[in-house]
Amino acid sequence: MQKLEVFGANKLKGQISISGSKNASLPILAATLLSNKKIYLKNLPKVKDIETMINLLESLGSKVKFHKKKFIIDNSSQKKKFASYNLVKTMRAGILVLGPLLAKFKNAKVSLPGGCAIGTRPIDIHLKALSKLGVKYKINQGYVHANAPKGLIGSKINFSKISVGATENLIIAACLAKGTTILTNCAIEPEIKDLVNFLTTIGCNIKWVAKRSVKIVGVNDTKEATYSVMFDRIEAGTYLIAAAVTEGNLKVKNILPNVIKTEINILKNIGAKINIKKDEVHIIGSKKIKNINIKTAPYPGFPTDLQAQIMVLLCKANKNSLIKEDIFENRFMHVAELNRMGGQILIKGNQAIVKGNTKFAAAELMATDLRASVSLILAALTTKGKSVINRIYHLDRGYENIEKKLKKVGAKIRRI
């Protein structure tokens, strides 16, 4: 099994170009199932989750090929409605094929999803909302068996809580439903706005009518289109934090700084010097890191996907900090490994008390999930000596060429 060796104590200097967004690409790939026309997608990241989603589409009968920096997806002969556990087990986004399959064929059998073990992530919000579009379902032996005898019929749906996946699934499904669907209490992450932009590009009728409300008028057909996926804001945030934690001097390019305003402001408050241009952020890390209290929240709040990374930086702060995890109930699994490196982090329920002035020591480490694994790299970059990170298949699910990108800006890191 592959591992990463990280030799620390280097300041990151130079520039890093950010890849396309994994979390935008996955729902967009699922949404291509709505169309029988050719779809050309650009800027998909080369990560394991994208490969898995493409394999899932191909198992459903989609024809996918890569040509001249574009993925060409042809669903003209796609007729299968069964998404197997073998393909869905490694990522929660697999459930996103349920909406388009029901919209297109009136029935589907989709495995309950997997992904990182960071919480229960139930799909009951998806299923309750789909039932209001006329879907009947049962769960049997780990599969959702769903059908809509009369097809999907537009409805008014208020989500019981803000859910990124449920918002995506329902927006996609409602595009081919009869009549009008109004969704309220929607998640408004930039990746959802990107999904809506894509769906509009292929001819769907979608309009935001309030901050968290969207109106979808069902259409009968879609059109051929080319679409470029947005940048990965979590990758961008990770490298900005990497610069801050190593007292580096880094330009993070190919981004829209306005999209990561919350993260930039927090890094400024902690002490980093930041200069913003049209499509890049230049960050210079400070020797003196200020403590801060943070809670994760749906966009535009601080993202749960950057909680592990910011924790590493706060271990270096001048005083204690508090992190409150309000999204997932089991997202502090990296804490045990950071404490093995010398961190002093105390967990109380959904809160982490992070003691400052930590000097991390090199160690052999075990990655537990996607974002936890990258937090271990960040901590290892600050040490003297060699750290070894095991189970890096988590990392490969969401970061494109991470060791190559880090090497380019001065990190001593290699895959073995």
Boundary of a domain, candidates 212, 228, 244: 228
Residue 368 has what pLDDT?
84
Boundary of a domain, candidates 228, 252, 275: 228
- Mean pLDDT, rounded, for 165-176: 98
**Domain identity same for 268 and 185:** no
**Domain identity same for 284 and 391:** yes
**Domain identity same for 258 and 201:** no
**Domain identity same for 112 and 203:** yes
* pLDDT classification of 120: cutoffs 50, 70, 90: very low
- Mean pLDDT, rounded, for 215-229: 97
Task: Please report, for the domain that includes residue 29, its CATH number.
Answer: 3.65.10.10
Q: How far is CA 34 from CA 73, 86, 172, in A?
A: 11, 23, 8
**Domain identity same for 160 and 92:** yes
Q: Who wins on pLDDT, 329 or 268?
A: 268
**Domain identity same for 28 and 155:** yes
Interacting residues of 386 by C-beta distance below 8 A, sequence separation 6+: 5, 6, 7, 362
Lowest-confidence range among 58-67, 149-158, 296-305, 367-376? 367-376
Strand partners, 134: none
114 has pLDDT over 70? no
Q: How far is CA 286 from CA 7, 13, 266, 306, in A?
A: 21, 14, 13, 19
28 has pLDDT over 50? yes
Residue 381 has what pLDDT?
97
Residue 116 has what pLDDT?
43
**Domain identity same for 342 and 406:** yes
**Domain identity same for 251 and 392:** yes
Q: Which residues are catalytic?
A: 116
- Its sign, for the CA torsion 5, 115, 22, 189, is negative
- Mean pLDDT, rounded, for 263-292: 97
> pTM (2 decimals)?
0.96
Count up the domains in the chain and report the number. 2
Distance CA 144, CA 166 (A): 15
- Mean pLDDT, rounded, for 81-88: 91
* pLDDT classification of 112: cutoffs 50, 70, 90: confident
**Domain identity same for 31 and 11:** no
Percent of the chain with pLDDT over 90: 87
Helices (H), 209-273: 233-245, 261-270
**52 close to 113: Cβ distance less than 8 angstroms:** no
**Domain identity same for 221 and 287:** no
329 has pLDDT over 80? no
Boundary of a domain, candidates 171, 201, 228: 228
Residue 119 has what pLDDT?
41
Its domain, for residue 368, covers 4-19+231-415
- Mean pLDDT, rounded, for 25-38: 97
- Mean pLDDT, rounded, for 191-209: 98
Instruction: Please state, as a whole number, how many other Cβ atoms lie within 10 Å of the Cβ of residue 416.
Output: 8
Tokens representing residue 394 in the block: 């988590």
Lowest-confidence range among 5-9, 206-210, 321-325? 5-9
* pLDDT classification of 80: cutoffs 50, 70, 90: very high
Residue 269 has what pLDDT?
97
**Domain identity same for 76 and 167:** yes
- Average pLDDT, whole number, for the chain? 94
**Domain identity same for 154 and 282:** no
Q: Running DSSP on this structure, what letter comes out for residue 113?
A: P
pLDDT tens column, 333-386? 899 999 999 999 999 999 999 999 999 999 999 988 877 899 999 999 999 999
Q: Who wins on pLDDT, 394 or 364?
A: 364
